[in-house]
Amino acid sequence: MPGPISDARFISDFSPARAVGFSGGPHAYFSGRRFPQRQGSSEQIVMSRSECSRLQLFFRAEGLADTDTFSKSDPYLVLYERRNSASSGAGGGRMLIGRTEIINNNLNPRWTTSFTVPFHFESRQIFDAELYDDDGKGPGGGDDALGVVSFQLAHVVGSAAATLKQRVTNGKGSLFVTGVETSESANRRDTIRLQFAGRDLRKMDTFGLSDPYFRLFRLQPNGTKTQLHLSNVIDKTLTPIWQPVEFKVRDLCGADPAALTLRFEMFDKDFFSDDSMGWFECSFNDLLEVGAGRKTFDPRKPHKPDNRYGVIYLAKCELRQVPSFTQLLATGLQMNVMVSIDFTGSNGDPRMPTSLHYMNPMSPNQYVRAIMSVGDILMEYDTDKQIPAFGFGARLPDGNVNMCFHLNFEQNPYVQGIQGVLDSYGRALATVMLSGPTNFSPTVTTANRLSRSSPGVYTVLLILTDGDITDMQATIDAICDADDAPLSIIIVGVGNGCDFALMNQLDGDTEPLRSSRGKPCRRDLVQFVPFRDFAMAPPMMLAAAVLEELPNQVVDWALLSGYRPPVVSTGVQLGAAAPMQPLPQPAIVPYTVAPPSCGAPLSHDNGAPSCELQRPLPPPPSCQPQPGCT
């Protein structure tokens, strides 16, 4: 987008409401209209690039139909994934996931068979659970159908205790679907900080003490070993305390923390050749036991079992257990979507087909397509579907240029769902005049305040713009100030000939942002994607690229802010795999970060009375209508 001088020159105060050919204004294109849903059969499949979680799905039912004359039904379940889902491969139709066991004479079955499936936050994954009464003929050979339940994996993950209840279609009763993240998946970001130490080590040198060091290996299933760490050498001591080292838990053990997966080998450093001081093998749970002071390690040599080399213990053992994204959702963290749209003059005259805001009923513009593509996924995790919607860079009816105004021109900016955003967008085009410049900082500051005012809610701000910003340093300052807020910022660059060079800097993937006050941004909370790279692709491809970093951003925020989800029962029945639980360890100190102080509620900076945004609508009667916050 041009700079302030060019924008000022372009301000011509044209109003789309007066544009010829827009009968009733652009909002007539939106009001009461629902865009056609994308057709799964015509879309190519997008394999997620983000590191996905793996979920075990458990099923139980209540009140199923009885199709047997002299006994009750013998139900079993067959699970399919629709092939337009992210993890099911290309093509149409469905892919068979598996079949449960048969439970005889039971209308309220609890199946022990579970199914492990990948979970991709950034994609829509739909499953069909077909229920049958076993008559010995098979699901396609004449077994009585008891109904079917179709569900989205996002709804399972986002439900309380990750358990979704749905009525059986074409049958009776209800089906309960519970998703439990597998141990290896749930704990893949956990870390442990270890400081090995020794006492009473054996004196290996003739004219001095030992010079000990150690190597730590991971034992592989095929019998080989991989070195994880080489310690520093401590000269002339029998009581070494080596430098601490941090590992990812997944590097130390697999799904079973009790398996012997580690080997510790100790040596005495010599001028010509190092002498072995014994070794031992242990499990991850053994490390926790030693860290708690309940046991020690005794390095020896197999061919000299009675030849002792001293005692190895842990002077420090700090376990940082990181909640996964799916665990945060299952234990009550909610998602909220916020939208901000660029109304600057460089978008072009909306009356002209070349404008990025041009309304063609047969072909939605890039703003509309981006809102629909990304919102389609995020709405599955937004429980109340109330979206605060804003615009920036427009001249309002009062003649003032506003850099953060309520898109619906109401006191409260919340609208109902994606359609509410699109309707408000159309009405705003009929009301405002495109202007400039392109300032992001007021929107980011507003999102920061709003996100802090909603405990237990993580806000995703979607900014749609046609070019580079004109308040770069102020925006960086606002982003750095929001690094501990429950906030992610997704920027979609609209237009084909625009320069988005500065957007990549805001993304922060190559170098962390730093404010004008020298404060570094402590986490990556911005993702930028140019729409032109996906203009000819199905909507799901844009959503996958835009949202791929979001799960890790949410987890990073939880770590930085010290957020701890409430304890919620998983409700898993009959053989569900629980996440890995290390043995009790009172001496192990977990990482803790003091939670930030909450920001003040959103207030209008133009001198109007302060008005905290409320959910749901309407706002309190004490609030006086204010068209926007500058």
Inter-CA distances, 522 with 295, 473, 560, Å: 38, 17, 8
Burial class for 478, CB neighbours closer than 10 Å (0-12, 13-18, 19+) = buried
Query: Which tokens in the block code for residue 138?
Result: 């098979």
Enumerate the β-bridge partners of residue 124: none
CB burial of 234-256 (b: ≥16 within 10 Å; e: otherwise) equals beeeeebebeebebebeebbeee
Query: Which tokens in the block code for residue 236?
Result: 């002339």
Which residues of the chain register pLDDT less than 50?
A: 1-50, 85-90, 568-630
Q: Which CATH class is domain 42-185?
A: mainly beta
Pairing of strands 191-199, 311-320: antiparallel
CA distance 514 to 477: 8
Helix/strand/coil for 504 = helix
Dihedral over Cα of 61, 63, 69, 71: its sign: positive
CATH of domain 4-33+331-535: 3.40.50.410
Q: Look-up: residue for tokens 């919102």?
A: 375
Query: Which tokens in the block code for residue 292?
Result: 């708690």
Q: How many CB atoms lie within 10 A of CB 9?
A: 11
Dihedral over Cα of 245, 319, 597, 618: its sign: positive
Q: Look-up: residue for tokens 């002299």?
A: 70
Inter-CA distances, 113 with 49, 126, 351, Å: 29, 20, 60
Mean pLDDT of the chain: 79
Question: 302 Cβ partners below 8 Å, 6+ apart?
Answer: none
Query: Which tokens in the block code for residue 232?
Result: 């520093």
Q: How many CB atoms lie within 10 A of CB 473?
A: 11
Query: Which tokens in the block code for residue 227?
Result: 């070195």
Q: Among 174, 191, 154, 167, which residue's Cα sits nearest to residue 55?
A: 154
CATH of domain 191-320: 2.60.40.150
CA distance 555 to 447: 19
Q: How many CB atoms lie within 10 A of CB 553?
A: 22
Inter-CA distances, 499 with 494, 496, 581, Å: 10, 9, 50
Q: What integer pLDDT is reported at residue 8 of this predicted model?
A: 26
**Residue ranges matching CATH 3.40.50.410 in the chain:** 4-33+331-535
Long-range Cβ pairs for the range 35-42 (8 Å, 24+): 35/364, 35/368, 35/372, 35/422, 38/538, 38/539, 38/540, 40/82, 40/84, 40/92, 41/84, 41/92, 42/538
Helix/strand/coil for 69 = coil
pLDDT tens-digit readout, 88-145: 444 568 999 999 999 999 999 999 999 999 988 888 899 999 999 998 887 777 899 9
What is the model's pTM? Answer: 0.68
User: For the CA atoms of 396, 402, 403, 404, what is the dihedral angle to 10 degrees?
Assistant: -70
The DSSP symbol for 520 reads B
Q: What integer pLDDT is reported at residue 82 of this predicted model?
A: 92
Burial class for 379, CB neighbours closer than 10 Å (0-12, 13-18, 19+) = middle
Q: What integer pLDDT is reported at residue 305 of this predicted model?
A: 67
CA distance 469 to 493: 11
Query: Which tokens in the block code for residue 191?
Result: 């870390």
Q: What integer pLDDT is reported at residue 187 of this predicted model?
A: 66
Q: How many CB atoms lie within 10 A of CB 94?
A: 16
**Residue ranges matching CATH 2.60.40.150 in the chain:** 42-185, 191-320
The H-or-E segment that residue 250 falls in is helix 249-252
Q: Among 347, 357, 376, 546, which residue's Cα sits nearest to residue 463?
A: 546
Residue type, 362: M
Q: What integer pLDDT is reported at residue 69 of this predicted model?
A: 78
CA distance 201 to 583: 28
pLDDT tens-digit readout, 557-596: 998 998 876 654 433 322 222 333 332 222 222 322 222 2
Q: What integer pLDDT is reported at residue 92 of this predicted model?
A: 61
